[in-house]
Amino acid sequence: MKKQTLEQYVRAAHTKQTADNYLYVIINFLSIHPDARKFQYMDLVQYFDQLTIRYPKVATRIRMLAAIKKYYDFLLHTGRRIDHPCRKLTIKRKKTAIQTQDLFSMNELQLLYTRPNRYKNLDVRDRVLFSFLLQQALSSHELAELNITNIDLDKGEVHIKASPKISGRILPLDVSQIALLIRYLNETRPAMIKAKTSKLIISKAGSGMSVDNIHAVFEPLRMLFPGRTMNPERIRMSVISYWLNDRKMPVEQVMELSGLKWASSVMQYKKIDIAEQSKLINRFHPLR
């Protein structure tokens, strides 16, 4: 029996117009990347990131992704691959880039540790809060949901529960955090607690802190940065930007650390370098 060709496979599943469009995209894709058969997930993420310059309309890139997915469907169907590298890859509509110039640098965020609290126990607790924001970029909801059982000091890990918007993950604790947490768990938390709770972060009232309680901690800290937004969300965004742009972490690693579910969500934080952008334009859409 004669093997089915790519064209036959595509045309068997779509109307003539859709098949023509898909085949055009696939042929162009393979002419640029003859080794595309071996591409992995991040190769395709980078490919579509580069396409944003030549094809700024999201709808166009979504159609192109559908065509390229069909190519890998074909490879899977014919046994040329045993996996599908971009089945879960999506391009979200109306994604707005993060204004990274409005975020805080890591040096600025370190100032949070310098503001003393007249209450000794609250000072230690706040340092624990700040450390989870600056080291692990936890959201205020994740902070409020932390239980003492989520901390493994022997392994130096914190276990973060999944939420509808953020993936669960196990993150390493910084060395400085371990000493701080030992003090907090052995001295500060027992002294603060007034009602039985497994919550890690304790409020001034002696119970587990709510999201609103956590946000209230940052109200007096606004004086450190007049005219700028200072809250847990902005700090989380700043740390994610720091990982991606200053630490130069790969997108996949930032996704794992932050719990962001989409590569496109991470790429919102990417600072655009004018020289790099010009190179990409010349490489993928050269002036003739």
Q: What is the pLDDT of residues 34-55, one digit of tens each?
A: 999 999 998 998 898 888 888 8
Tell me the backbone φ, ψ of residue 219, rounded to 5 degrees: -60, -50
Residue with the two structure tokens 């809060």: 129
Instruction: Look at residue 268 and tell me whether its pLDDT is greater than 70.
Output: yes
Q: Are residues 70 and 146 in the same domain?
A: no
Tokens representing residue 274 in the block: 């004018």
Q: Is the pLDDT of residue 281 over 70?
A: no
What was the pLDDT predicted at 93? 66
Task: Report if residue 1 sits inside a domain.
Answer: no
The answer to whether residue 83 sits within a structural domain is yes
The domain that holds 155 is classified in CATH as: 1.10.443.10
* Res. 212: pLDDT tops 70: yes
Three-class secondary structure of residue 100 per DSSP: helix
What amino acid occupies position 117?
Answer: N
Given a cut of 60, whether residue 11 has pLDDT beyond it is yes
Q: Are the beta carbons of 129 and 122 closer than 8 angstroms?
A: no
The whole-number pLDDT of residue 210 equals 93
How many other C-beta atoms can be found within 10 angstroms of the C-beta atom of residue 62?
A: 14
Domain co-membership, 162 together with 206: yes
More confident residue, 130 or 222: 130
The answer, yes or no, to whether residue 1 has pLDDT greater than 60, is no
| 74 lies in the same domain as 112 | no
Residues 27 and 108 in one domain: no
Position 273 scores a pLDDT of 60
Domain boundary among 31, 61, 94: 94
Q: Is residue 274 part of a domain?
A: no
Q: Average pLDDT in the 241-255 region?
A: 93
Mean pLDDT of 207-229: 90
Band (pLDDT 50/70/90 cuts) for residue 114 is confident
Q: Dig out the tokens for 243 from the structure.
A: 């990982």
Contact predicate 130/230, CB 8 Å: no
Mean pLDDT to the nearest integer, 154-182: 94
**pLDDT score at 26:** 95
Domain membership flag for residue 283? no
Altogether, the residues listed in the chain come to a count of 288
Q: What percent of the chain has pLDDT over 70?
A: 92
Give domain status of residue 90, yes or no: yes
Is residue 187 located within the same domain as residue 67? no
Q: What does the mean pLDDT of the chain come to?
A: 88
**Residues paired with residue 152 on neighbouring β-strands, in sequence order:** 157
How many CA atoms does the CB half-sphere of 264 hold within 13 Å? 15
Strand partners, 157: 152, 172
Q: Which string of b and e fits 19-44 if b means at least 16 CB within 10 Å?
A: bebbbebbeebeeeeeebeebebeeb
pLDDT score at 102 = 79
Mean pLDDT for the stretch of residues 225-243? 92
Q: Is 288 exposed, middle or buried (0-12, 13-18, 19+ CB in 10 A)?
A: exposed
**Nearest CA-CA partner of 181 in 169, 192, 189:** 189
Same domain for 61 and 115, yes or no, is no
From the list 141, 149, 145, the residue with the least C-alpha distance to 233 is 141
pLDDT value, residue 277? 47
Q: Is residue 239 classed as helix, strand or coil in its secondary structure?
A: helix
Same domain, 125 and 39: no
Residue listed under structure tokens 């192109």: 64
Q: Which of 77, 94, 111 is the last residue of a domain?
A: 94
Question: Into how many domains does the chain fold?
Answer: 2
105 secondary structure, DSSP code: P
Structure tokens at 150: 């989520």
Q: Do 129 and 84 sit in the same domain of this protein?
A: no
pLDDT at 232 over 60: yes
Provide the pLDDT for residue 133. Answer: 97
CATH code where residue 16 lies: 1.10.150
In this structure, the answer to whether residues 13 and 74 fall within a common structural domain is yes
Separation CA 1–CA 281 (nearest Å): 46
**Whether pLDDT at 92 is above 90:** no
* pLDDT at residue 286 in the model: 42
pLDDT class for 167, splitting at 50, 70, 90? very high
Range of the domain at 55: 6-94
